[in-house]
Chains A and B, each alone.
Chain A
Amino acid sequence: MTQKLLEIDNLEVHFTTRRGVVRAVRGVSLSVGKGETLGLVGESGSGKSVTSQAAMGLVHIPGEIVGGDIRWKGQSLLGPEGHPLSRRIRGREMAMIFQDAMTSLNPLFTCGQQITEVLRYHRKMNKAQAQARALELFELVGISAPLERLNQYPFEMSGGMRQRGMIAMALACEPELLIADEPTTALDVTIQAQILELLQDLQKRLDLSIIMITHDLGVVAGLCDRVAVMYGGQIVEEASADEIFSHPAHPYTMGLLRSTPRIDGKDDRMVSIAGSPPDLLQAQQGCAFASRCPSRKAECSRDVQLKEMASRQVACRFPFSGPWSRDFKERTDHIGTR
């Protein structure tokens, strides 16, 4: 049993809006072990980003954590006693990178200034030490001509280089856990491939734990050990990456997998899941996916819990079982519309 770094337990996050309370995260439980890579997959409004923001202490008004607990190595980060602890851990032992490096870096300072600032503040280095370490970090993340880049402003760098710079900054304090919130979504495919390669490489070399938040199952497939799929603020399925991709159990995972366009596929028509994402303003009764689910039955209007099923967890009363085969594909052809 590996040591659990981050544990999220029954997390509830609400957003107060003028139209009502949006229950963005509804009872999410997650954990990441040392050196483990967890993929958190979901579409817009699934609550995946909010969950990670809650872990990093980045939920602000109008959002509010109303229930559950977040623990770092067994210690709670919430509540008054967790406060001084959380400040020490967040940003140092736990770091985050974002989708848009341009808005996450301060445009008025060079990348070198920003990274040495972090080093001097958190690690109490002197100027020369911080400079040397910054150079090391830039080399680590594969920034070409690192010495020159240190003196460049964010806008002078390309998207890929900025993203590398942000990763370098996140790694400055030698965190044990890196939360990556859609780190490649804004990048071109060839640059995305570079960044994914880099993350994979860093994970091995530094024994990092990574939470990879993305809407793209393809990104998760090569990188993650375990995958949790979120829908409507809940985790609907959690299993090892191999299992999720070879035989998904939840109808939503199945639909998502089938609607991800594959360049190795031969189908002429793309497949989609009918309907629209759930409205989180509505008081949810039962399974959030029910209205779009083809195997919905009357029982689905009652609440479902994430349940252990063989080696995985599924929140569905009528999960699929068995491997993904041709036969199976036909059986589920009605998922998603043709």
Chain B
Amino acid sequence: MALAEQIEPAEPLVRVEDLTVRFPGGRAGFWGQTELEVHAIERMSFEIFPGETLGLVGESGSGKTTAGRAVLGRTPVKSGHIYFDGRDITNIEGDARRLLSRDMQLIFQDPYASLNPRMRILDLVAEPLIVHGLVRNRDEAVDEVKELLRKVGLPANAFERFPHAFSGGQRQRVVIARALALKPRFIVADEPVSALDVSIRAQVVNLLQDLQQEFGLTYLFIAHDLSVVQHVSDRIAIMYAGKLFEIGSADAIYSNPKHPYTEALLSAVPVPDPVIQRSQKRIVFEGEPPSPIYPPKGCRFAKRCPLATAQCENEEPPLAEKAPGQFAACWNRN
């Protein structure tokens, strides 16, 4: 893709090329003779540049989480390639993969489930250091753990407690401290604030931004709607039913979306203002996403799209450049 040269001359840190992921979807037929496949991601390509945040937005079943997991090598890839720092890491396994985890980390959605309830904070944060042999035991890690906790805004004396003593926002800070322990360059944040209370979310989002500044981190920030990503992303990618629908700079996506689905997503987020809500008619699209087992022949959004034509039903639109640096997959928009 020519995306790289046009936006930024720098080498992308992460490059995903024609990524296709399919999961076994059971069997059909009386004897189970037909093997079904869930088409999780179809021919997806994108790049993430050093120091930038790419927001990846999609609803449930869009394949956004699968995309994040595929980049981290946590899900088998059917075809396509993933490059990290110029190196093809698609099929790396075993010790090499383990070594790669020093560079790429994951922040989970649910801070209540992603911390082992039977381990103290010290053990949790020191674990990455220990399994990589960077320290020999937890006592050696104490200073480093204290420093990490300070970085994420937790009091230093937090390290001897168990996760249950912490609130959701504080737990997510522990998760972040753990992810930072190996000094990674790239972090996939899979809906890191969706499980948190509204009044706490910004604490965590702002922390992630501060840390990005401080350590020059690169983020893939996954979200299910456009409200939070707006604040953190340099560029935004929109996914629907396994396909990349639109990608472009955050400003362009918000002010001048090129795909009708992006418009729908933008208008669906309820604005906390009754006056605006009354004056502004929401675009409510009928229907639901297509079956991932039997995806339609043409555009996957055609069934719900107000602009759909016969061409949309029959031919899949390619991701085309609609404005400088802004790509969208739609036949009817320029």
| Residues of A bordering B, CB below 8 Å | 43-44, 144, 158-161, 188-194, 196-197, 215-222, 241-242, 245-246, 255-257, 259-264, 267-274, 276-277, 336-338
- Taking CB atoms, residues of chain B closer than 8 Å to A219 are 270
Stretch at the interface among B19-27, B260-268, B307-315: B260-268
B231 at the interface (CB under 8 A from A): yes
Q: Is the CB of A270 within 8 A of B282?
A: no
* Cross-chain contact of B201 among A191, A217, A246, A272 (Cβ < 8 A): A272
- Picked from A217, A218, A222, A256, the residue with its CB within 8 Å of the CB of B278 is A222
B197 interface residue, CB < 8 Å from A?
yes
Assembled-state Cα–Cα distance A273/B202 (Å): 8
Q: Are B198 and A256 in contact (CB under 8 A)?
A: yes
CB pair B271 A263 closer than 8 Å: yes
Known: A218-B269, A242-B275. A256 touches B199 (CB 8 A): yes
Contact assessment for B202 and A272 in the assembled complex, using a CB-CB cutoff below 8 Å: yes
Q: Is B231 a contact of A269 with CB atoms below 8 Å? A: yes
A276 touches which one: B170, B205, B224 (CB < 8 A)?
A: B170
CB <8 Å contact, A190 and B265: yes
The interface on chain B, measured as residues whose beta carbon lies within 8 A of the other chain's beta carbons, has a size of 45
Other-chain contact of A257, B224, B225, B272, B285 (Cβ < 8 Å): B272
Give the residues in chain A near B264, CB-CB below 8 Å: 190
- 7 nearest A-B pairs in the assembled complex, by CB-CB distance: A218-B270, A272-B202, A270-B202, A188-B59, A222-B277, A43-B197, A217-B272
B60 adjacent to chain A (CB < 8 Å): yes
Contact B274 A218 (CB under 8 A): no
Known A-B contacts A269-B231, A272-B203, A277-B167; the reply to A197 vs B284 at CB < 8 A is: yes
With A and B bound together, what is the CA distance between A338 and B202 in angstroms? 9
> Quick one: closest B residue to A242, CB to CB?
B274
Q: B228 and A270: CB pair below 8 A?
A: yes
Residues from 153 to 174 in B contacting A, C-beta threshold 8 Å: 167-170
- Verify if B214 is at the interface (C-beta below 8 Å from A): no
* Minimum distance in angstroms from A18 CB to a CB of chain B: 13
A-B contact pairs, 21 of them (CB 8 A): A43-B199, A188-B224, A190-B59, A191-B59, A215-B198, A216-B198, A217-B198, A217-B272, A218-B272, A221-B273, A245-B275, A256-B198, A256-B199, A260-B198, A261-B201, A267-B231, A269-B206, A272-B202, A273-B200, A276-B167, A336-B199
Q: Are A222 and B270 in contact (CB under 8 A)?
A: yes
Q: Do residues A160 and B167 form an inter-chain contact, with CB atoms below 8 A?
A: no
Does any Cβ of A come within 8 Å of B254's Cβ? yes
Chain A residue numbers with a CB within 8 Å of B268 are 189-190, 192-193
Q: Check A272–B206 contact: CB distance below 8 A.
A: yes
Q: Is the Cβ of B277 less than 8 Å from the Cβ of A221?
A: yes
Q: Which A residues touch B187, using CB under 8 A? A: none
- A240 CA to B270 CA, complexed, in Å: 18
**Does B8 count as interface, using CB distance less than 8 angstroms?**
no
Query: Contacts A189-B265, A190-B265, A261-B228: A272 and B272 contacting too (C-beta < 8 A)?
Result: no
Residue of B nearest to A219 (CB): B270
Contact, CB under 8 Å: A270 / B198: no
Check if A270 sits within 8 Å of B197, measured CB to CB. Answer: no
Contacts of A256 in B (CB 8 A): 198-199
CA distance A337 to B203 in the complex (A): 8
Please, which residues of chain B bring their CB within 8 A of the CB of A159? Answer: 60
B244 close to A (CB within 8 Å) = no
